[in-house]
Amino acid sequence: MMLDLIPQKEEQVEVIGYKGRFVVREHWIGADGHDLFRLDSLYPGLTLDEIRYPMMTYPPEEKVKKVLPQILPQCGPWPEDFEVYKYDVKSGEMYDGTPRVTVYFHLKPGVIPSVEKAHVWNNFYARLDKAFQFIDIDSGKQPATWLKFAAKEDRSALRAAS
C-alpha cells in the first residue's frame, strides 16, 4: 500500500534546520517537477518559501492523523461497539517523559465495556499496531514515540456537568 504523505494546506509540519512547527500555506509543483511549499511558523513573523518536500516531516501526532484514515480500511473488521471512523488523536508524555500518541476510538452510546468486548477491541488494536510497525512516526527522533489505542465513551455536555 502506498501512503500519501504529501503535506496539504493547513497541516502542521516541522522543517529540518528550523525549530518549531509550521503551517502549510501553499503547495505547488516547481519548474523542475518537485513539490514546493510556502510555510508560516506557528510563531508570527517567520515564513519559509520554496521549501522542498524532503526538508519537511510531520510531528508524530500529525503523522498518525495523516496515516490513520489511509490504513483503517485494511485493519478491519471495525468493532461493532465503535462509532465508525470516529476517533481523536492526542499527544502527551508518559511518566518518564517519553512522547506518547494515543488514538481514542469513540464508543457507540450505551455500550457497556466487558471482557468479551475488550478482547475484540484488543484484536483490532493489534491489527492497527501491526500496520503502524511499517510507518516511522518518529522521523528518527529519540526517544521513540509510544503509540497507544483506546476506547472512549462520548459524554453529553449535560451528563458531564452533573
For 84-139, the pLDDT digits (tens) are 889 999 988 888 877 889 999 999 999 988 999 999 999 999 999 888 887 776 66
Give the per-residue pLDDT at 41.
Answer: 94
For 139-150, the pLDDT digits (tens) are 656 556 788 999
Q: What is the CATH number of domain 60-161?
A: 3.30.300
Is the pLDDT score of 162 beyond 50?
A: no
Find out whether 15 and 56 touch, Cβ atoms under 8 Å: yes
Angle (deg, nearest 10), helices 60-71 and 115-132: 110
One-character DSSP codes across 117-136: HHHHHHHHHHHHHHHHTTS-
Find out whether 17 and 39 touch, Cβ atoms under 8 Å: no
Give the per-residue pLDDT at 1.
Answer: 58
